Structure formats: structure tokens, C-alpha cells
């Protein structure tokens, strides 16, 4: 799994919009025309990790096809809590 989150500290409201990234990846994944990591969950509650974040599958570039890494127990717990 890959966790993408906004950086901590003061940023412009439109900068590092993980909500927008998640929406774009979701749309591309549903269209099926472009190989992208599979978006798994979006959390906009900043009290969880300090900033909004989303989880997506890990994509290994090169080799054959796409590879999704197995979830660690910690990440599985976070994902199930969302």
C-alpha cells in the first residue's frame, strides 16, 4: 500500500490536494483506459493522521503487469477503521 497525505504545516488551500488526486485516480481507474494505482480509501478527517490522506495500491513499475503489495497489519487496521 501507498499512503499519500498533505504535508504538515501551512500550505495554500489548493496545494497538495489529496482529495483531488484521489478523485482523479478513481476516475481513471474506473475508465480502465489508463493503468493507474487502485485508490482504496480517502480520509478527510485531519484528526486521524494530522492531515487528510488516501491509500492506494502499490504499483511496481517494470516487470510484468502491476503488483499490489500485501497489507501490513497496521495498514489493514487503518483501512478497516475508515
Task: Output the nine-digit C-alpha cell for 64.
Answer: 510484468
From 62, 69, 82, 57, select the one nearest 4 (Cα to Cα): 57
Report pLDDT digits (tens) over 29-73: 888 877 788 899 999 998 998 888 999 998 766 554 444 445 556
Pick the range with the lowest mean pLDDT from 16-20, 56-60, 75-79.
75-79
**Model-wide pTM > 0.75:** no
**Residue 79 predicted with pLDDT over 90:** no
Amino acid at each position: 500500500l501507498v499512503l499519500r497525505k498533505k504535508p504538515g504545516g501551512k500550505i495554500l488551500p489548493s496545494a497538495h490536494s489529496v482529495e483531488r488526486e484521489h478523485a482523479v485516480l478513481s476516475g481513471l481507474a474506473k475508465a480502465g483506459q489508463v493503468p493507474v494505482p487502485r485508490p482504496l480509501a480517502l480520509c478527510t478527517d485531519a484528526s486521524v493522521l494530522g492531515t487528510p490522506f488516501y491509500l492506494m495500491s502499490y504499483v511496481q513499475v517494470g516487470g510484468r503487469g502491476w503488483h499490489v503489495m500485501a497489507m501490513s497489519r497496521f495498514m489493514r487496521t487503518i483501512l478497516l477503521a475508515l
